[in-house]
Every structure is written in C-alpha cells, then in structure tokens.
Amino acid sequence: MSYRKLKWITILLPTVLIGGFELLRHSVWLYNLSMDVGNYLIIVLTLFIFYVFATWMFKTIEEKNRRLAQEREMRAVFEERERLAKELHDNIAQTLFLLKVNLKKGKVNEASALVNSIDANVRQAIYNLRMSPEELISFSKRVEKWLDDWSTVSGIEPKLTMGLPDGYFSPSEEVQLFGIIQEAFTNIRKHSRAAAASLKLQTGSEGWKLTIADDGKGFPKNEATHTRYGLAMLRERAQKIDAAVEITSKNNEGTIITVKGSGKYGTVSSVNRR
C-alpha cells in the first residue's frame, strides 16, 4: 500500500467513525440510546478501532522502511561488484600490455611473473563476483573462505582471530570492510615479502577493531600514504564506514594496519584459526 493511501485512510477513518456514529445516535438511536451510554460507547469504539488501525499502519510503515533499507544495501553491494569488474578489466588490460612488451624483448622471467599476477587477480575477482549478495553466509565465514584462497595463491598461512556478532555490520559496511581486508592482504602478497601474516577482528564496549599484521620488509614512514601500496584506497574505504586507520611500519620489521570503528551488538560468532 502506498503512503498516499495511508494518508487518506488516516484522514477518513476518524471522520467516518465518529461522524457516522454521531449521525446514527442522533437519528436512528435517538430514543434507544442514552447520552451517557453513547459517550462511553464512542470512547471504547474509537480506542479499539484506532488501536487496530495504528498497529496495522505502523507495521506497514516498518515493512516499507525495511524494504527500502534492503534495497539501499543491495545497491551498495552491486555497485561494489561493478567496481570490482571494472578494476579487473583495467588491471588485466595493463598487465597484458606489459606481458606483450616483455615477450617481445625476450624477458621470459618477467613475463612469467606477470602471468602469475594475472592468475592471482583473476582468482580474487572471481571469488568476489561469484558471491551472491543474497547468499546466506556470515561475514566471518566469508573472510575465512577468502583467506583460504589467498593462502593458496600467496603460500602464506595467515593466523585468523574473529569474535564478531552475527549481523554486526550492515551489508554495505561488510562490503567496505571486506574490501579493506582484501586490499591489505593483496598488498602483503605483492609487496611485503612476508613469511607470516595475521588478521584479528574483535568487538568491545567502544566498537570494533581490525588489526592486520605481517613480518615483511615494511616501508619508511614517509611512504605510508603512497598509492602504490593501495593504502589510499584502504583509507577511502574506511572513511565510508566512519572508521579510523592507523598504519605502523618500519623497514624490515613488518607492517601493522589498525582500523577502528563504532558498531552495534548481536550474537557472537567466533572464528579462531592458526
């Protein structure tokens, strides 16, 4: 039912109810219904009908708002999928061009590395795009599954610790947070030369905290915002969910990325894998 119909029902219901009752009382029931009984009767009748009507109306409005919220969340998910598809196209196009150049120059090793890069990018993109937005899989399980694929490609077995309530994040928040995790671990695979990595996502009284660490080569402090490490994209995603990012890194001492934000509470679903 549209809001226009709800508005007219709200306008007409008291008019018809009270006006119709008074009309009947002063015509048909004029000699059969006393004034006091009529007054009490209209009070009880109005209370009952408006209680039923208000319960139904607010339930209808809540359902409409829920559907609108779901549509907004789904739109955010599909927009992210479109961005991933475009990013995959651009990355592969650029890599294929470099592959062609290296093959012409006879640089077989460099060409082989580019092929491996294409393979890794395609694997990651396929995983992102094959996940249906309606698929009933928890965020913790989705991260764990993606890290399994990442471990296969990178050769690094990450340590994963997640104590996350079910439904803690909205679908659009999950999209951005999942993108942060992917960006961080993609950087570890491509740039860090790490032998170990870890992810910890916990909630508390002040909100949630995500910590991603590796024991790789790190980078100087003045390079912490350099776009070639994908950190600019990571910060941009964090801003979309009102989260703060802190990056600590030193040469040959690894990197720690900490993302903090506020959140709500639900039933805790824990994942702990070594």
Q: Are residues 44 and 160 in the same domain?
A: no
Q: Are residues 166 and 271 in the same domain?
A: yes
Residue 175 lies in a domain: yes
Identify the pLDDT of residue 64: 83
Identify the pLDDT of residue 84: 66
Residue 10 lies in a domain: yes
Q: Tell me the β-bridge partners of 197.
A: 214
Domain-ending residue, one of 17, 40, 66: 66
Q: Report how many domains make up the chain.
A: 2
Task: Kindly indicate the confidence band of residue 132, based on its pLDDT and cuts at 50, 70 and 90.
Answer: low
Residue 95 lies in a domain: no
Q: Are residues 274 and 142 in the same domain?
A: yes
Per residue in 199-234, pLDDT (tens digit) is 999 988 889 999 999 999 887 766 554 444 467 778
HSE on the CB side for 229, CA within 13 Å? Answer: 20
Q: Are residues 273 and 147 in the same domain?
A: yes
Q: Are residues 147 and 62 in the same domain?
A: no
In terms of pLDDT, which residue wins out, 76 or 152?
Answer: 152
Identify the pLDDT of residue 170: 80
| CATH at residue 179 | 3.30.565.10
In terms of pLDDT, which residue wins out, 41 or 201?
Answer: 201
What is the mean predicted confidence (pLDDT) over 183-189? 87
The answer to whether residue 100 scores a pLDDT higher than 50 is yes
Task: Put residue 87 in one of left, alpha, beta given phi > 0 → left and psi -120 to 50 → alpha.
Answer: alpha
Spatial CA neighbour of 192 closest among 156, 237, 148, 161: 156
Identify the pLDDT of residue 131: 56
Residue 192 lies in a domain: yes
Q: With residue 208 as reference, give the H or E element that holds it.
A: strand 207-214
Q: Are residues 182 and 58 in the same domain?
A: no
Please calculate the CA angle 121-125-127 and round it to the nearest 5 degrees. 120
The pTM (predicted TM-score) of the whole model is 0.57
Q: Are residues 160 and 270 in the same domain?
A: yes
Identify the pLDDT of residue 56: 85
CA dist., res. 185 & res. 147, Å (int): 9
Q: Are residues 48 and 152 in the same domain?
A: no
Residue 252 lies in a domain: yes
Domain-ending residue, one of 44, 66, 88: 66
Q: Are residues 156 and 265 in the same domain?
A: yes
Print the domain residue range for 201.
138-274
Q: Are residues 152 and 233 in the same domain?
A: yes
What is the mean predicted confidence (pLDDT) over 144-150? 88
β-pair type (207-214, 197-204):
antiparallel
Domain-ending residue, one of 16, 47, 66: 66
Residue 117 lies in a domain: no
What is the mean predicted confidence (pLDDT) over 179-192? 86
CA dist., res. 8 & res. 129, Å (int): 45
CA dist., res. 224 & res. 95, Å (int): 25
Q: Are residues 153 and 269 in the same domain?
A: yes
Residue 262 lies in a domain: yes
Q: Are residues 272 and 150 in the same domain?
A: yes
Residue 77 lies in a domain: no
What is the mean predicted confidence (pLDDT) over 157-185? 85
Per residue in 46-72, pLDDT (tens digit) is 888 888 888 888 888 888 888 887 777
